[in-house]
Structure 1
Amino acid sequence: MAESALLGSEKGPKSPGSPGSPGSPGNPGSPENQGSPEKARGKSSAAPGSGLLKGLIRTARPKQWVKNVLVVAAPAAAGELFSRHALVQVSLVFVLFTACAASVYLVNDARDADADRAHPVKRHRPVAAGVVPVPVAYSVGIVLAVVAPAVAAFVCSPLTSALLTAYLGMQFAYCISLKHVLVVDLAVVTTGFLMRAMIGGLALGIPLSRWFLITTGFGALFMVSAKRYSEAVQMAGKAGATRALLTEYTVGYLRFVWQLAASVAVLGYCLWALEEGGLPHTSVLPWRQLSMVAFILAVLRYAVFADRGTAGEPEDVVLRDRALALIGVAWLAMYGLAVANW
């Protein structure tokens, strides 16, 4: 990029050993550093289609696909996850929801390409960097948005297709305007997580309990508001380097939201765990009640990162914190035993 360093302004030949001479190892133009023309061109020598495909995959945010694992929540809660039919349906729903989410990312990045080019981090996104042309991002995003609900209507159920369509409509509205509306932006992102948790149940015709919806909804709000809180803390005094809406929230308000959401999520889970449900208890231990301990510990552990302002990337917190992972495994074991009534 710094061409002046290569052109120079020397008036006479330099000795081979001098720092600026063509044979010097420190000279960018030397054979050792420049290499063959193919190496100098780097990625430009690769097939254009390959670079475009990689750019499209990067724009689809593979790192975010872990969120779509929530589609197993309702079938798992109902104890109907491990039949062959359920596994096939849940796998299909995961793929279809991932396609819808990728559609939203593609359209969002295409729409925000000009603004992203002025951002210190977002300018490296494939669409903003020119790796994926804006028309291509729009086209692929729209195709995915049409195909995914259509496929869902045939291979899953009309309700599944309707939920995917509602998700796409809500997310596109968020990209266009709702992300600039206070509180509504939190509600939209939270609802996206709730839809992920609901769609597995809809695909299999499983009734969704009120405790499931309350716990999942407020658990999602807890993580979303903690993410916003962390962004606000880290970007304090750098209003031009982050989303504009954060400047309209106060840190105290966002703290209040994630604390309130965490409290309601814990309360909803405890009410589920303590509810008898009219079923005979044949399990060795009261796994439903014991799972409350692990659930509360998980919320408290995650709140540590939220309070520090380091929960800006929820998937990193969940996947990289060993203590939280161990608590999660313990909770899954107890929750599974409770659902199976062992």
Structure 2
Amino acid sequence: MFINNSIFFLDYIRILRPQQWLKNLLLYFPSFLSGSIISIEYPFQGVMPIIAFCMGSSATYILNDIIDSDNDKHHPRKKYRPIPSGTISKITAAVLALLLLCAGLTFATFSVSIRFSLYLVLYLLVSTLYSLKLKAVPLVDIFCIATGFIIRLEAGGEAFAVPISDWLFLTVFLLALFLSIGKRLNEKLNLGNEAKCHRKSLAGYPDGFLDGAMYLTGGAVLVTYSMYTLSRSHLFYTVPLCCFGLLRYIFRVKSGQSGDPTESLLKDVPLLLVSLTWAAIIGWRLYF
């Protein structure tokens, strides 16, 4: 009985996709890179924004799983998710998503600011449109994902009162495009003829397009990040780390490994070490 209850509880944790909350750390980028993160007051100013976004993003993940449940049954890994596998019903999942949505908006409005809550609403709107229709449209699907990252960046600037520089904006936007394209390319390579059954947009990408687009955006990320660091000379030494990270991700995608950005960061030791080294160098330069 205890084992069954534990499995049932884990299914509810899995449907929230807590590993994807890592993306919401982007809210801290503006304050971290500006050297002001140590001045953030905890717990409300520092914790409440990310709690609100984690709740909101989990609500959109659940909605996406509900809509995609039939297609996910054709995917070798996603078919084991709680909704496609039938361990959690669509109605139960919908109620949970609604509760998370209301809680996230409440935290955003009353614990942060009204303007921050508007960024969260915009993120929810883009994510909902993506889940309902736009994810089936080639190019539009990856631009929707990139927009979600930009909204997180701007929301972080609002939450911690830090202006977003032009070069940082471009770097995050292009990096999000690069990672989204890599994920699509990985799906197309690994799923083969089943790709269009899992994701309709994959059938609309011509052969070789995603490869070229990934190389193009990867090079653009390196340029914009280099320009960002040139405006702040103490960060210039992190450019080689950026270059290695981009090439390592391309290597993973082309070798058939997972193209999911979060999974790549958490499970790929070289990428994880490079990311930690990057954070350590910037932290040392800015704060010590």
Q: Same fold (TM over 0.5)?
A: yes
| 1-structure distance, mates of 2:70, 2:178 | 32
TM-aligned CA distance change 1:208 to 1:319, over 3 Å: same
State which of 69, 73, 77 in structure 2 corresponds to 1:113.
Answer: 69
Matches within 5 A, 1:181-196: 181-196=137-152
Partner of 1:222: 178
Residues 188, 195 of structure 2: 8 Å contact kept: no
Residues 60, 97 of structure 2: 8 Å contact kept: yes
Q: Does 1:322 align with 2:288?
A: no
Can you list the C-alpha shifts for 1:205-233, whole angstroms capped at 9, x where unaligned?
21111111111111111111111111111
Q: Does 1:65 align with 2:21?
A: yes
Partner of 1:20: none
Partner of 1:13: none
| 1-structure distance, mates of 2:72, 2:242 | 38
Bigger drift between 179-188 and 300-309 goes to 300-309
State which of 275, 278, 301 in structure 1 corresponds to 2:248.
Answer: 301
Q: Does 1:166 align with 2:122?
A: yes
Can you list the C-alpha shifts for 1:51-70, whole angstroms capped at 9, x where unaligned?
65433221111222222222
State which of 284, 307, 310 in structure 1 corresponds to 2:257.
Answer: 310
Q: Does 1:289 align with 2:239?
A: no
- Identity within the alignment, %: 28
TM-aligned CA distance change 1:240 to 1:259, over 3 Å: closer
| 2-structure distance, mates of 1:87, 1:141 | 25
Bigger drift between 111-120 and 309-318 goes to 111-120
TM-fit CA distance, 1:236: 2.2
TM-fit CA distance, 1:237: 2.9
Flag the structure with larger Rg: 1
Residues 80, 86 of structure 1: 8 Å contact kept: no
Can you list the C-alpha shifts for 1:239-283, whole angstroms capped at 9, x where unaligned?
46531221211341111211121111111111122226xxxxxxx
Partner of 2:215: 259
Greater helix proportion? 2
State the SS of the aligned residue for 1:288.
Answer: helix
Can you list the C-alpha shifts for 1:160-214, whole angstroms capped at 9, x where unaligned?
1001001111111111101111111000011112222332221112111111111
Aligned CA RMSD, in angstroms, stands at 2.4
Bigger drift between 217-226 and 143-152 goes to 143-152
TM-score (norm 2): 0.90
| 2-structure distance, mates of 1:216, 1:267 | 12
Bigger drift between 138-147 and 308-317 goes to 308-317
Can you list the C-alpha shifts for 1:34-77, whole angstroms capped at 9, x where unaligned?
xxxx8xxx96xx45xx6654332211112222222222111101
TM-fit CA distance, 1:103: 0.5
TM-fit CA distance, 1:115: 4.3
Which letter maps to 2:166? R
Partner of 2:105: 149
Structure 2: stretches of 5+ with no match in the other structure: none
Which letter maps to 1:330? T
Can you list the C-alpha shifts for 1:86-114, whole angstroms capped at 9, x where unaligned?
66423212211111111012222223334
Residues 135, 141 of structure 2: 8 Å contact kept: yes
State which of 261, 277, 283 in structure 2 corresponds to 1:336.
Answer: 283
Matches within 5 A, 1:189-204: 189-204=145-160
TM-aligned CA distance change 1:239 to 1:220, over 3 Å: closer
TM-aligned CA distance change 1:331 to 1:97, over 3 Å: same
| 1-structure distance, mates of 2:74, 2:257 | 25
State which of 135, 146, 164 in structure 2 corresponds to 1:179.
Answer: 135
How many corresponding residue pairs? Answer: 288
TM-score (norm 1): 0.76
Partner of 1:268: 224
Bigger drift between 180-189 and 292-301 goes to 292-301
Structure 1: stretches of 5+ with no match in the other structure: 1-37, 277-285
